[in-house]
Amino acid sequence: MSDIQTQFVKNILSGAKNNPNSCGSAFAPSNIALSKYWGKRDADLNLPINSSLSVSLGALGTRTEIRRTDCDAVYLNGLKVDGHDSFALRTLEFLHLFPDLGTSGFEVRTENNIPTAAGLASSASGFAALVMALDDLAGWGLDKKKLSMLARLGSGSASRSVFDGFVQWNAGENPDGTDSYAEPLSRDWKEFRIGILEISKARKPVGSRDGMNRTVQTSELYKSWPAQANRDIETIRAAIDAKDFPTLGKTAENNALAMHATMMSAWPPLIYLQSESIEAIHQVQRLRSDGLEVYLTIDAGPNIKLLFLEKNTEGVSEAFPGLQCIQPFE
């Protein structure tokens, strides 16, 4: 917790209401970026170098309940988490940004219906749900723009999980972080499907935060990343408007692989992909050359997220047995 963060929170909360409840609760969806966030311009305020664009995962995400108590206690999926565990530490460190809630401690109960830290962006839904539950507990009545900025302090991708559907997180330019928040694109695509191909549940060897910093500091290829991200967001936005699935899929896949190429060119190299991830990438290419419209995206981990339309669900599921199919707009 830094003075800059404390001041930022104070500014966001100035003018907030004060209608406290005994318990605050909220659900936030997980999200998958189609054009990725990778690299920070300010670590304290968690400001990104580039904007990003995601799709939220509907009913897959995090439900959080929070109460005032004498001493802190954090539960994850029904089990009490050791106070030294990184999940508990990050949660409590975040809550200490809000000292004026009239309590010496918090009881936080978090239920994830997605694998924690397996590259399925559970910190995104986690911090978004935590901020929304806090808003409920304190009765601040903050708008979603402010909730998005507070969630950003916990985890960058959480700024996008405050909304459903397609979401853009604007990087912003202001050093004070007041123009860096997410906005919904307000576009439906009922036929849009995401298939989760789980390669590993293991925690990633290098977390996103350290991975990003290493990439920005050491990768020669990173110089071209912000410009690609900006181009890709524009292309994907236009593809969403036109319901042009091949353009969306191709741009999202290229964006993810460019991010991984950039990570690999860091030193020490960041290689999140495993051999099964590479096999799946080849299989997607084979399926496309056989005429099946399927694309992929990958986050900072080995798991593969397939992008396809409803009409191709059977073909994709046959090619990838055990695929978990998500309907983000249902």
Q: Is 156 in the site for ligand 2P0 (CB under 6 A)?
A: yes
Is 90 or 145 the residue whose CB approaches ligand 2P0 more closely? 90
Residue where the block lists tokens 């409590």 = 92
Q: Is 46 in the site for ligand 2P0 (CB under 6 A)?
A: yes
CA 173 to chain centre: 21
d(CA 32, CA 53): 9
Q: Is 225 in the site for ligand 2P0 (CB under 6 A)?
A: no
The footprint of ligand 2P0 on residues 123-142 (CB under 6 A) is: 123
Residue 189 near residue 217 (C-beta atoms within 8 A): no
d(CA 22, CA 34): 38
Backbone region of residue 264 per phi and psi (left: phi > 0; alpha: psi in -120 to 50; beta: other values): alpha
How many residues touch ligand 2P0 under the rule CB under 6 A: the total is 15
Burial degree of 251 (CB within 10 A; 0-12, 13-18, 19+):
buried
Is 46 or 312 the residue whose CB approaches ligand 2P0 more closely? 46
Q: Which of 12, 36, 112, 151 binds ligand 2P0 (CB under 6 A)?
A: 36
Interface region with ligand 2P0, contact rule CB under 6 A, candidates 66-74, 107-115, 153-161, 274-282: 153-161
Nearest CA among 52, 25, 19 for reference residue 212: 52
Is 271 or 292 the residue whose CB approaches ligand 2P0 more closely? 271
Residue 138 near residue 107 (C-beta atoms within 8 A): no
Q: Which of 9, 171, 287, 300 binds ligand 2P0 (CB under 6 A)?
A: 300
Is 147 or 319 the residue whose CB approaches ligand 2P0 more closely? 147
Q: Which positions touch ligand 2P0 (CB under 6 A)?
A: 33, 36-38, 46, 52, 121, 123, 155-157, 208-209, 299-300
